Every structure is written in C-alpha cells, then in structure tokens.
Amino acid sequence: MPFEKKSEEQFVVITGASQGLGKEFALEFAKRKMNLVLVSLPDQGLLNLSKEIELKYEVKTAPFEIDLSVCANVISLANWINNNFNISILINNAGTGGTKKFVDAKVDYINTIMQVNVVATSILTHQLLPNLLRQKQAYILNVSSMAAFSPIGYKTVYPASKTFIHSFSRGLNEELKDTNVFVSVVNPGAMKTSAEITARIEKQGLLGKLTLLDPEKVAQYCIQQLFKKDSVIMVNPISWALLKILPIAIRLPLMTRAIKREIE
C-alpha cells in the first residue's frame, strides 16, 4: 500500500485495530493526538474507522489490510512500515483463538492460532525493532491473556500461545533494558468485544460473568501503565486472585468445565 513519503512524525502501530481492544487502542491514542498505522484483516471496516479517526481527532492514519497468518504478509507489512514511518509505539494486539475439542479441530484452525499469536507477533516485533531503537523513546505492548497462566481443556493451543507471548515479552524487555525501547505485556481476561462473544462467555456461568472486561477501560489502563513502564499489566483482579489462590489440580478442571459450556 503506497504512502506519499516517509513522515518525520511519530506513529503508533496497532495490529487487530478494526474492532474490540485494538479499536479502543486506536481511539485512545488518537485522543492523545498520536498518529496511527492501523492493521487488520480485509473487510472489517478498517478504512472507515481510519477516516473517522482522522476527521474527529485530526491525526494522521495509515490503514493496512492484511492477513497476518501468512508469514510473507508480515514481512511485507514490516517493510511498508519501515519504508514510510518512524515508529515510537508498537501494539501487538492481533490474536485469534476459539473453543473446540482438540480432536475435532482442523489443521488450519491450529495453524492460524500459532501463526497469528506467536509467529506474527515475534516477526513483526523483530522487523520493527531497529525502527523503534532509532527513536528517542519507544514502547512495545504485547497483548497476552489471563489464559497464559493456566492450561485449559477445549482451548489447548490458545493458552499455550499466550504463555509464549508472556515469556517472550518478559525476556525481550530484560534484553532491551539498557536501550530506549521498553517492552510490556498485558494479560486481560475475556472482553465485551461483541454481543456474540459476550453471550458465549456468559455461558461459562458465574465465573465468566465476573471476569468480563470493558475493552475501552482496558485500553485506557494499558496506555496509562505502559507510559509508567509497568512491564506486566494486570487488568482483572478477580481472575488474577483466583489463578493465584487455586492450585493447578483444582484450577485446570474448574476452568475446563466452564469453557466446555461454550460448545455444549
């Protein structure tokens, strides 16, 4: 996707920006008068969102529609960003998951989770890091999940992918601690990103209802804590308390039973 010329201004890159938490990140940064590179799958309303943000908040936006489950696409995106923009913040928000019996899952379903959640996040960060290192101060925020702290039946691959994101973020932040780039990871629980997702989570029973989050509030808190250089951002105290209190022998079957209700 062409852009006029490399801007000397700073931009925030947000993946998965067309809806849910990614959209809220875009709106919150725009309120702070920060220019945006917005990335999402095609046909999810990204171009309209980009125009709306420009008109309402008077910031520059650059939308890029692409499927991040294809590794070559991640490289193309990174090259386009590096050729056109100075990046001061990278928000690796794009992610995918689902609830299925593992034996019934298609290979493409498993591969897409791993490619988007693990591979795309790692490679995009790697490719944009030199750009971030050139700035006076830069930040990376990776979106993990409360699922990173416990295996769960009927999700299996998704929690494992988010455990990777948590570990990757902590390790990279330590590696970059003497540079201008600060790395943080946020571990939210389920969010009210759509009526369908909210209904599905509520099927989990009381546990699901108690832990549902508002994506707007999550985005606001994440940005606040990112600029405070909080390396591990926790946004759901109820979920976190339960995970710390319950031993794995109780937690694993409890969470698995709750998740199983989604597909029953």
Q: List active site positions.
A: 158, 162
Within 10 angstroms of residue 192's Cβ, the number of other Cβ atoms is 16
Selection from 235, 220, 245, 207 nearest residue 146 by Cα: 235
For residue 263, the one-letter residue type is I
- State how far the alpha carbon of 47 is from the alpha carbons of 10, 159, 163, 199, in Å: 20, 31, 32, 28
For residue 93, the one-letter residue type is N
* Pairing relationship of beta strands 10-15 and 35-40 according to DSSP bridges: parallel
Give me Rg for the CA atoms of the chain: 18
Let me know the angle formed at the C-alpha of 47 by 38 and 26, rounded to the nearest 5 degrees.
35
- State how far the alpha carbon of 54 is from the alpha carbons of 61, 63, 90, 217, 263, in Å: 6, 11, 19, 22, 40
Within 10 angstroms of residue 31's Cβ, the number of other Cβ atoms is 14
In whole angstroms, what is the distance from residue 117 CA to residue 98 CA?
12
- Annotate 124-147 with DSSP letters as a single string: HHHHHHHHHHTSSSEEEEEE--GG
- State how far the alpha carbon of 137 is from the alpha carbons of 10, 44, 103, 181, in Å: 11, 32, 46, 6
